[in-house]
Amino acid sequence: MSTLNNDQPTKDGTEPAGTFRLLPPDAALRLLNGSAPPFPSDAARRLFQSPSTSFPSVITLDVVGHRFKVSTDILIAESGLFKHQLSGKYTWTPQVDDSYFLDADPEIFEYILRFLRRPCSYPLFWSKDRGFDYDMYRHLQAEAEYFQVNALYQ
């Protein structure tokens, strides 16, 4: 194999910093033709997966164990976070079951998702016995700000 720079190995036999190894031509061709050996596992394949511009049109979100199946069009229409996350500029690797994990409050996320589906229908946390649930509104505002759903927190 040749190196990108002409540095000699160090005294202990290791490569100097900044040395890049080039693949032999036959190995590079095998990679390009798709005949290179597969990754040793799905976990390794997912680890080296580059950002993808193509997400399925419908994805399953795993919000701390609660699953939500939703159209990607719905997610990107009103949410800045999902618009960026699904743009292909970032790696968002699906789990083994092909769902995408979100670390968020599933109870509040359900209200955010309802709003994303019907942006003219705002959540109402009110009961005759207790009146308005201001704590739920504060939680909703915090999650809406995180998901960049401007209409719910501005």
Q: Token pair for residue 50?
A: 């580059």
Find all residues with CB under 8 Å of 48, minimum gap 6, and list them.
39
State whether 98 and 31 are in the same domain. Answer: no
Q: Which range has highest mean pLDDT (35-44, 51-60, 108-117)?
A: 108-117
Residue 43 lies in a domain: no
User: CA-CA-CA-CA torsion for 51, 54, 60, 65, nearest 10 degrees?
Assistant: 0
Has residue 53 been placed in a domain? Answer: no
One domain for residues 22 and 65: no
Lowest mean pLDDT among 36-40, 56-60, 106-110, 150-154: 36-40
| Same domain assignment for residues 70 and 106 | yes
Same domain for 78 and 110, yes or no, is yes
- Helix residue ranges, H only, the chain: 25-33, 42-47, 72-78, 80-85, 106-117, 134-146, 150-153
Assign 154 a pLDDT band (cuts: 50, 70, 90). Answer: confident
Domain range holding 63? 58-153
Do 72 and 23 belong to one domain? Answer: no
Q: Do residues 133 and 126 lie in contact, with contact meaning Cβ atoms separated by under 8 Å?
A: yes
Q: Supply the CATH number for residue 121's domain.
A: 3.30.710.10
49-74: pLDDT as tens digits: 444 457 899 999 999 999 999 999 99
Count of structural domains within the chain: 2
Looking at the structure, tell me whether residues 89 and 130 fall in a common domain.
yes
Of 53 and 146, the structure prediction assigns the larger pLDDT to 146
